[in-house]
Structure 1
Amino acid sequence: MRELAAPLACVTLLFVLSAAAGGWLVMRHPELIALFASEQMINGVQQGNLWTEGLLNVVPSSILSIGILTNNIVVSLMAFCSGILFGLGTFYIIALNGLMLGGVFAFVHQHSMAGKLLEFVMAHGPVELSVICIAGAAGVMLGESLIRPGLSSRRESFQAATAKAGRVLFACALLLVGCGIIEGYVSPNPAFSMTSRVVVGLGYWVVMVGLLSGRLAGRQPVRAR
C-alpha cells in the first residue's frame, strides 16, 4: 500500500472536493439533480419517500446483495482500468461519483431526508467508498506508468504497475463482497438502529485497514509489489 499512498491521497482529495462541488451545485440549482438521479428517484423524494425504503419488501436480500456487489465491482474496475487513459479516465470516474454522492445528499437534505440516507449508507459506505478510492489510486498508478515509465519501456512499466496493483485489487474484491452482503442484509433493514449501523460500518472499516496493512493474522501488508 505504500506505493499507493500518494495516488490514494490525490484520489481521495478529488472525491471529497467533487462531492462538495456536487452538493453546492444542487443546493444552488436544485434542477441539476436530474443529472445524478432518475426521475423515479426524484419524484419519490419529492413525495417524501426515499428510494431505499422498502427494498427488502421488493427484492430478497440475496438477490439485492448480488446486484449491489456486481455494481460495486463494476465501478471499482472502471476506476482502475480507465487509468490506462494516462490516469484521466480514473479522475473522471472518481470525480463523477463524488459529484453524484454530493448532489444526491444535497437533494435529500433539501427535503429533510438526509438523515435517512445517512442511516442507510452508514453500515457499508465507509468501506465501499474507501475501496473505490483505492481502486482509483491503482488506476492512477497505471496512468503514471505510461506517463513516466522511467528507464523501462512503456510496455514494461505498464506490466510492472499492473502486477503491483494485482494483490491490492484482489483484497478490494474480497472487501466488496462484504459490502454487498452488508448492503443487502443490514442497510435496508429497519430493525438495525443507527448505533448498530455505525458499529458495523466502523468495525468493517477497521477490518479493511487491518487486511490491507497486514495486521490480520500477523501477515505482511498487502503491497503493490
Structure 2
Amino acid sequence: MDIGIDGRIDTGATVNVGAVQNDTLRSARFRLEREAHWRQLDQLVTRAEKGGAAALGYDEVRNLAAGYRQAMNSLSVARDISLDRALIAYLESLCARAYLVVYAPQESLGGLTARLLLRGIPQAVRRSALPLFIGFLALILGALAGYKLCVSDPSWFYTFVPPELADQRTPDASADYLRSTIYGDEGHDSDRLAAFSAFLFSHNTTIVILIFTLGIFVSVPSFMLTFYNGLILGAFFAMFARKGLGYDVFAWLSIHGVTELAAIAIACSGGARLGLAVLLPGARTRKEALRHQAHDAVKLALLAALMLVVAAFIEGFLRQLIQDPAWRLAIGWGMGLFWVGWLLLGGRQGKASREVAR
C-alpha cells in the first residue's frame, strides 16, 4: 500500500500488480494444462515437414488431425481471454504449420510429374481438337505444296531448303550419293552419335519454341513457320523420289519424323490456342481468355518438348544404327501408335470413377 500526501491509503498499485500476477498465473495454468498436446503436435508437424505425411503412421496421422483441432481451440480461447502475446504467437505459428501439413497438397515432384503425364497432358490434347487440326493442317499442306512444286520443277528445292540443311543432298546429286546418305556408314562411334543427337535436339527445340511463342500473334506466324517446315519436308521427299528412292527416304524419315514432325505440329497447336484466345476471346476479356487457354497451351508445349527428346534420341542413335527400312518403318510408326494410344486413352475416368465424382 502507498500513503498519499493527504494521508489516504492508495491501493491502485496493489490492484495493478495483482491483476498482472493473476494474468500471469492464468497463462501459466492454461499452458500447463495443454502444453503436452502442443509439444506432441509440434513433433508430428516437424516430422511431416521433413518427410511428408507418408512418414507418419496411421495412428500418428490421426493424432496429428486431432492435435490440430485442439490447438485451434486453444488459440481461440487464448485470444478470447487475452492471454500473453508470446503464447498467442506460438499457437498461431503452430496452427499455421499444422494446417499446411493437414490440408495442403502433400505431393512430391514425382507425383506431380506422374499426374501431368497420366492425366494432364492427354486431357489437354483431347480438349485441343481445333488447334491440333490447325497444326497438322499447316504441316500437311506445306509438305504437299513442297512436293508438288519440286516434282514439277526441281529448282524450287533451292528456294525452300537452306544450303546448310541440304549439305550436298541436292537435285543435282546422283542417285548413288543420295542412297549413301540414307544407308551409308558414317562412322557411328558413340561420341559422334551423342554429339549429333544433342545438335538435333537443340535445333529442333529452337524451332518448336519459335512456333509456340509466335502463336500469340493471332496464330498466323506459327501456322506459316509450320507450313514452311512442311515445304522443306516435301522438297526433300520429292528430290529422293525423282531418283527412285521414295520408299527408302520414307522409311528414313519415318523412324524419327513421325515423332519429330508431330512435335512440331503440336507446338503449333499450343501456339494456336494462344492465338485463338486473342482472336476469339468469347465472353471473356482477351487477358482472361489468354490466361484460361495458357493452361492447356503450356501442356501442349511440354508434350512437344518431350517428343523432341525422344525424336533426338531416335534420330541421333537408332536411325544411324538401324539400316533396314522395314525396321525403320516399324519403329517410327510404332512410336506413332504409342503417342496416339497414350494421348487418346490417358486420363480417362472409368464408369465407377465418374459415378463417384458425381
Calculate the TM-score normalised by the size of structure 1: 0.85
Work out whether residues 135 and 223 of structure 2, in 8 Å CA contact, stay in contact via their aligned partners in 1: yes
Work out whether residues 14 and 95 of structure 1, in 8 Å CA contact, stay in contact via their aligned partners in 2: yes
Equivalent residue pairs, number: 217
Find runs of 4+ consecutive structure 1 residues off by over 6 angstroms. none
Aligned residue in 2 for 1:73: 205
> Residue 220 of structure 1: CA displacement?
5.0
Say which SS state the counterpart of residue 177 (structure 2) adopts: coil
CA deviations over 1:23-72 (Å, ceiling 9, x no partner)? 11111111111113326334586133234544445971111111111122
The amino acid of 2:292's aligned partner reads: A
Provide the rounded CA distance (Å) in 2 between the counterparts of 1:183 and 1:91: 25
Q: Unpaired runs of 5+ in structure 1?
A: none
Aligned residue in 2 for 1:8: 132
Provide the rounded CA distance (Å) in 1 between the counterparts of 2:218 and 2:319: 36
The amino acid of 1:49's aligned partner reads: Y
Provide the rounded CA distance (Å) in 1 between the counterparts of 2:323 and 2:167: 26
> Residue 87 of structure 1: CA displacement?
0.7
- Structure 2 residue corresponding to 1:40, chosen from 160, 167, 186: 167
Q: Say if 1:211 and 1:116 are closer, same or farther in 2 by CA, change over 3 A.
A: same
> Residue 155 of structure 1: CA displacement?
1.9
Aligned residue in 2 for 1:82: 214
Say which SS state the counterpart of residue 171 (structure 1) adopts: helix
Q: Say if 1:206 and 1:194 are closer, same or farther in 2 by CA, change over 3 A.
A: same
Say which SS state the counterpart of residue 30 (structure 1) adopts: coil
The amino acid of 2:126's aligned partner reads: R
Calculate the TM-score normalised by the size of structure 2: 0.56
> Residue 107 of structure 1: CA displacement?
1.5
Q: Unpaired runs of 5+ in structure 2?
A: 1-124, 350-358
Provide the rounded CA distance (Å) in 2 between the counterparts of 1:76 and 1:127: 13
> RMSD between aligned alpha carbons?
2.3
Aligned residue in 1 for 2:340: 209
Alignment pair present for 1:155 and 2:287: yes
Q: Say if 1:40 and 1:176 are closer, same or farther in 2 by CA, change over 3 A.
A: closer
The amino acid of 2:201's aligned partner reads: L
Provide the rounded CA distance (Å) in 2 between the counterparts of 1:179 and 1:5: 23
- The structure, 1 or 2, with the larger RCO (C-alpha pairs under 8 Å, 6+ apart) is 1
1:35-184 equivalence runs, <5 A: 35-37=159-161, 38=163, 40-43=167-170, 46-47=173-174, 48-50=176-178, 51-52=181-182, 53-57=184-188, 60-184=192-316
Instruction: Give the greater-gyration-radius structure (CA).
Output: 2
Aligned-pair identity in percent equals 25
The amino acid of 1:13's aligned partner reads: L
Aligned residue in 1 for 2:331: 200
Say which SS state the counterpart of residue 144 (structure 1) adopts: helix
Alignment pair present for 1:21 and 2:145: yes
